[in-house]
Structures are given as C-alpha cells and as structure tokens.
C-alpha cells in the first residue's frame, strides 16, 4: 500500500466572512495545493461557523462533553 500523503492542517481565511479557520486534508503529491486550499476556503460554511463562534462567546460549551466534564471536575476541587 502506497501512502498518498500526510495530513496537512492549514489555516485558511474565508473570502466571504473573513473568518480564519483550520482545514485538515490529505494532499496527494502533484496536486496544485494553492488551488486546493483556495477552493476549500471558498467552501467555508459561514452560517455554521457564525453559530459556533456565537456559542463559544456565550459560554455554551455543553455540546462538547469533554470540556463539560473537565469543567465539572474543576468545580469539584
């Protein structure tokens, strides 16, 4: 089995809502990386991102069970 490439995490800026976000992808050798990342940036789900940011700002982290349990553990100390 030949490996097609390593996972890359790249910080992108959405051209629509100007948010910075991270995309993780496996890039094959020979792919036009710049074009690929540009396309991924244009695929940004602005609405979901906005909701997520709003949830974080309002302190609503209960959707993340790991964070919620850590917060609970801290509260017991």
Q: In the complex, which residues of this chain contact Zn ion (CB under 5 A)?
A: 14, 16-17, 44, 46
Q: Closest separation between CB of residue 60 and Zn ion, Å?
A: 20
- What is the separation, in whole angstroms, between the first and last Cα of the chain? 50
Kindly list the distances between the CA atom of residue 18 and the CA atoms of 3, 6, 29, 51, 60, in Å, as whole numbers in the listed order.
34, 27, 29, 15, 23
Q: Closest separation between CB of residue 9 and Zn ion, Å?
A: 18
Closest residue by beta carbon to Zn ion: 14
Nearer to Zn ion, 16 or 38 (CB): 16
């Amino acid at each position: 089995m030949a490996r097609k490439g390593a996972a890359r995490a790249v910080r992108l800026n959405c051209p629509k809502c100007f948010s910075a976000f991270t995309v993780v992808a496996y890039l094959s050798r020979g792919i036009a990386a710049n074009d690929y990342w540009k396309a991924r940036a244009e695929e940004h789900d602005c609405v979901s991102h906005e909701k997520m940011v709003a949830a974080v700002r309002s302190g609503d982290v209960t959707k993340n069970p790991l964070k919620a349990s850590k917060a609970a553990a801290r509260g017991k100390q």
